Amino acid sequence: MAGIQESTFRNPVINWIDTRLPIFTMMQKEYGNFPTPKNFNYLWNFGALSMVILVIMIATGIFLAMNYQPNVTMAFDSVQRIMRDVNYGWLIRYAHQNGASMFFIVVYIHIFRGLYYGSYKSPRELLWMLGVVILLIMMATAFMGYVLPWGQMSYWGATVITNLFSAFPIVGQPIVTWLWGGFSVDNPTLNRFFSLHYLLPFVLIGIVFLHVAALHIVGSNNPLGIDVKTPQDTLPFHPYYTVKDSVGLCVCLLVFATLIFFAPNFLGDPNNFIPANPLLTPSDIVPEWYLLPYYAILRAVPNKLGGVCLMFGSILILFVLPWLDTSKVRSARFRPIYRQLIWVWVASFFVLGMVGAHKPLGWWVLTGRIATLYYFAHFLIVLPLLPRFEKTLPVPESISQPVLGGGRLPRGVPARSMENA
C-alpha cells in the first residue's frame, strides 16, 4: 500500500476515512495545532469574521434567490413579497442587505490591520494581492446585488457606474452597450447582474481559499511585525485563537443584530423604496456607503476619463503597495512617522466617504481633491520616501523574549520548530 496515510485518529470511522483521504489530519494541522504568533490583538479577528459573514451572505442569498424574480416588471414587487409574505423573509432579506454593510466594515478593518502592521510586506505580498482581488470581487458583487431590488437608486446607480466605461476612447461606448445587453440599463442587464451576483460569491470562496492557503504557507504577521523565531513565540490555533475569534464573532454579531433588528434601513437610501423609473432621475445619485470614497475620487477630477482612471487606480495601487513601501520594518509600532501618517490616510478615506455623500458643490469639491491627493500621495510619495527620513525604533529580538518577558512554554504547544519560521 504505497503512499497510504498513517492516521493517528482513534475513532475507527474517522481513522478509516483519514487513511484514505487525510482531511482530518489536514484540519488538525491547519486549524488545530497550527502554530500562530502568541501576541495577536483583537484586530486579528477580522479575517475570520469576514469569512463568517461571507457564509451568512451566501446562505441568506440562496433563500432570497428562491423567491426573487429577475425581471424588470416583477423584481421590485418580488422583493416586497419576500418582505411581507415569505415566512421570515424580512429577516433573511435584512440580514442579506445589512450583511453587505457588515462585510465591508469587517473587511475594511481587516485591510487597515494589514496596513498598520505592514502585513503586506515580504513574504506576504501574494497573500496581500489575493486580498485586493477579494476586495475587487466583493465590490463588483455588492454593486450588482444593489441593482437587483430594482429601486430608483438601483437603476440609476447601475446607469452611472456602467456608464463609467464609456469614458474610454473608441472602445468605451461598445463596452457599455455590451455590459447592458442593449442601449440602456434594462431587463437583459438585470438578468445578467442576477446571474453574476449569484456566481461571484463562489468565485470569492475560491480566492478566499487561496488567500488562506497562502497565509498558512507564510504564516501570520503579528502586532510586532517580526518573524516567529522559536516555538515559544507561538500558540496552537486551537483553542487559543478559536476562542479569541469567538469573542470577536459574538461582538460582531451584536453589531450585526442591532442593524438587522433595530435599524435595518439606516445605511440604505430612501430612494430605493421607489420602483425604478427610467424617466425620472433622482435629485442625487449616490452609491451605498462602502463605495462612497471611490465615488468621491471619481468626481474629484473634472475630466471623466481621468476620474475613472483615478477611481480604478485607487484600488489597483494596492496591488503594488508591497513594493511602494520600502521600509524593512513592518509594524507601525516601530515607525514613529508612519504611525502618524497612516491615520492621516485613514482620515482622508473617511473624508472621501463624506465628500462622496454630498453633491460636488462649494467646498466639498476642494475637500474631495485634497483628500484624493493625500490618498494617492500616501502611497506614491510618502511610502517610498519615508524610510530615508524615518528613524525606526529598535525592533524586539523575538515575540516572547523582551516584550512579554519570556514566559514558560504554554500547554499544548507542539515542541517542534515551525516549518516556516
Partner 1 sequence: MRALRSMIAGAALAAALATPAAAQFAVTPEPPKQEWSFEGVFGTYDLAAAQRGFQVYSEVCSNCHSMKQLHYRDLAGIGLSTDQIKAVAAAVQVPAGLNDSGEPINGPGTPASQFRSPFPNEKAARAALNGALPPDLSLIINAREGHADYVYAILNGYVTPPSDFKLLAGMNYNEYFPGHQIGMPQPLRDGQVTFADGTPNTLPQMSHDVATFLAWASNPELAERKQIGVRIILFLVFMTGITYAVKRKVWADVH
The catalytic residues are 216, 220, 244-245, 288
| Residues 318-377 close enough to bind partner 1 by CB under 8 A | 343, 346-347, 350-351, 353-354, 357-359
Is 393 a residue that touches partner 1 (CB under 8 A)?
Answer: no
Figure out which of the listed residues 289, 312, 319, 376 binds partner 1, where binding follows CB under 8 A: 289
Figure out which of the listed residues 8, 184, 265, 281 binds partner 1, where binding follows CB under 8 A: 265
CA 25 to CA 6: how far, in whole Å? 10
Query: Contact region for partner 1 (CB under 8 A) — 177-185, 251-259, 305-313, 366-374?
Result: 251-259
Figure out which of the listed residues 14, 17, 160, 274 binds partner 1, where binding follows CB under 8 A: 274
Give how many residues touch partner 1 by CB under 8 A. 51
Is 273 a residue that touches partner 1 (CB under 8 A)?
Answer: yes
Are 143 and 161 in contact by the 8 Å Cβ rule? The answer is yes
Nearest approach, Cβ of 146 to partner 1 (angstroms)?
15
Q: Which H or E run includes 234?
A: strand 234-236
| Residues 74-133 close enough to bind partner 1 by CB under 8 A | 77, 80, 83-84, 90-91, 94
Q: Which residues contact 106 (CB under 8 A, 6 or more apart)?
A: 46, 49, 50, 53, 252
DSSP state at residue 169: T
Residue where the block lists cell 476612447: 169
Nearest approach, Cβ of 152 to partner 1 (angstroms)?
9
Are 251 and 52 in contact by the 8 Å Cβ rule? The answer is no
Q: Exposed (0-12), middle (13-18) or buried (19+): which is 409, by Cβ within 10 Å?
A: exposed
Which one, of 149, 38, 138, lies nearest residue 97 by Cα? 149
CA 112 to chain centre: 10
| DSSP H stretches of helix in 37-165 | 46-67, 75-84, 89-116, 125-147, 152-163
Figure out which of the listed residues 411, 415, 416, 419 binds partner 1, where binding follows CB under 8 A: 411
Using CB under 8 A as the criterion, which residues of the chain lie in contact with partner 1 when the complex forms? 38, 77, 80, 83-84, 90-91, 94, 235, 239-240, 243-244, 246-247, 250-251, 253-254, 257-258, 260-262, 264-267, 269-271, 273-274, 283-284, 286, 289, 292, 343, 346-347, 350-351, 353-354, 357-359, 407, 410-411
